[in-house]
Structure 1
Amino acid sequence: MNIQWFPGHMTKTRRLIEENLRLVDICIEIADARLIISSRSPLLSDLIKNKPQLLIINKSDIADDAVNKEWMQWFKERKQNALFVNSRDGGKLLNKVTDEIHKILAEKIKAKEEKGIVSKSVRAMVTGIPNVGKSTFINNISGRKSAKTGDRPGVTTGKQWITVPGIELLDTPGILSPKFLSETQGEHLAMSGAVRDAVFDTAELSCILLEFLRDNYSGLLCTRFKITDTADLKGYEIMEKICKSRGFIVRGGDFDYDRASAIILDEFRSAKIGRISLERPSDI
C-alpha cells in the first residue's frame, strides 16, 4: 500500500528546526516504541546530526515488552543514547531525562565551568514525527499543560519554549520525510496515527494490520474481537468476522467495513487490543 504525506507546513518546520539548532545544547528525538524504525525520520536525523542527541523511545508501556527488551539490547550494543519511557510518568520522567542529558553533556558542561561559565539549565529541542507524543512528553515532564496535545497529527504548529527544572525545552511541530523509504514504513506510520486518515484507504490498511496481528498476535486479536479460527483467513475475512462479532451490519445485511476499519485502527492506537510492536531489531 503506497502512502505518502508531506503537507506544506512541514517545509516550514524544517526551516524552523534549522534556524533554531544554534540556540540549543542537545536535541531530544521522540520515537514510537511500537515502530522504532519507521518513526525515526531520515530527514530529521540529517537535520540534527551535528548536535548531541538523546533518543526517547515513547509509548513503551503499550509496546510488546519482549520486543522492548530486544531494542534495549540493540541500542546498548551500539552504545546509542536511548531512553525507554512512558510519557505519562510525570516527575519520574523529568529525573530520568535530566540525568541522561547531563551524562551526554558532561564534557561540554565541564569545559564551560573551567572557563567560568556556569549555566543553571541546558536548552533542548524536542523533535519527532507527528503524533508521537512530543507535547504529552513536555506536559508531563513539566507537570503542567504547557504544550497542545491531540490524538491527530499536526496539533503543534509552531515553536514553543517551556521551562522545567534544569532544562529549557523547545517544542517543535512533527516532521516526516518528503518520501517514505518503503511501503511498510508508510503503512506503519499510518497505523500509528502519524499520517492523517484522510490520506489513505482505512479499510485496506486495517486489513494489512489484521494480517500482521493474525501472524504475530493472534491471541490478542481473537480475545479482543471475540473471534476464532483466523489462521488461514485473509485480512478482509477477519474483518468480516469482526463485523459479525461487533454487530457492524448496515441496511440490507451488508458489513459496515468503514466502521470496522475505524474501530480496528482506533483500538490498535489506544492499545485496547493489547501491547503490540510492529517492528523489531531483526527488521533492520
Structure 2
Amino acid sequence: MTESNDDILTRPLGVAEAQVPDQPSGRFGRIVATLRRPKVAAGAIAAALVASLGLVVALGDPQGGEPHAEAVIVIREAAARPPAPVAAVEPQVATTAPGQGQLQRSAEEVESASGVTVVRPLGSGPTDAVVIRVPSPTAPRLAAAPDPRISETGRHGIMPKLGEGRGRALDVYARSEEPGTGPRIAIVVTGLGVGQAATAGATARLPAAVSLAFLPYGSEAERAAARARDAGHEVFLQLPMEPFDYPDSDPGPQGLLTSLKGPENADRLAWALARFPGYVGTVNFMGSKLMADAAFEPILREIGAR
C-alpha cells in the first residue's frame, strides 16, 4: 500500500479521495490552526478554570450561583389580650373586701378570700376563664379530719381506731342524713386520687351526695381527699387486693395477696390505712381472689377492730 496511514484513517469509506477542508489563511488562520491542536486547547481550558477559581477566591462569594432574596422584617407590638370572662353559677361573689380600693386581680385571690371552689381547665392559669361554685349556706359540712377521738399514730402514720363507746369513723365523718322518704340509691365513684384532672373534675362536678373512693397510691391523695370532703363528698379508701388473673392484673406494689403471710398483709394494710384521714370506710380495688380466700379473714378482723 502506497497510501499514508492518515489518509486511510481519515478518508470516508466509499470515497475515492479524502476531501481536505480548506484551511484559513493569514494571521487568523494561523491562530485557529494553533488552537486546534489538542495540547493547546486543553491548556486553554485549564487556564480558564484556574482563572474562574481565582475570581471566586478573590471575591469571596461562598453562595455564588445560589438563588437568594432579601426581606424587610418589621417588629410590631403585640395587641393587648382582652381579659377572659369569669362565669359564676351561683350568686356573684364580691371580689373586694370592705375598705379595699382595688379589685382582686386573680381567681386565686377570689378563692382564698371567699372560700369557694375554683375549677379551671387542665393546664390553664388564673387569667383564663374559670367556673366558680359558691357553696350553699345550707349545704352539710363534714367534720374535720383527723378527729383525735378516733385516730391513733401507727407505724406508717395516722390510722383510724374505735373511740369511746365504740365510736367509728362512719359515725364521725359521714354526711348528715338528708330529709325525705322512700327508696335511696348509694353511688360511689372509685379509682380517684391518681389522675389529678379526673379527680378534680369528679370533686367539682358531681353532686355532693355522691361518695368518692380514693386509691392509696396517688402522690396527692391526702390533699385530693381533703378537697373532696370540703366539697361535701363522703370519701372511702380503696384497698388494693389480689384478683384471679394476678399478675396479669396487678393491684400495685402494696396489694394484699393470698401468697403473703399474715404479718406482711397486715403491714400493707396499715400502710394503706394511713394514706389519708377522714374516710368513712374501705372498699376493694380488684380482690376477687383474695376475698374468696381464707387470707381475707384476718384483714376483715383488723378493719372491723378499727
TM-score range (shorter-chain normalised) is under 0.3
TM-score by length of 2: 0.20
Higher gyration radius (CA): 2
Greater relative contact order, per chain length (Cα 8 Å cut-off, separation 6+): 1
Question: Larger % of helix: which?
Answer: 1
TM-score by length of 1: 0.21
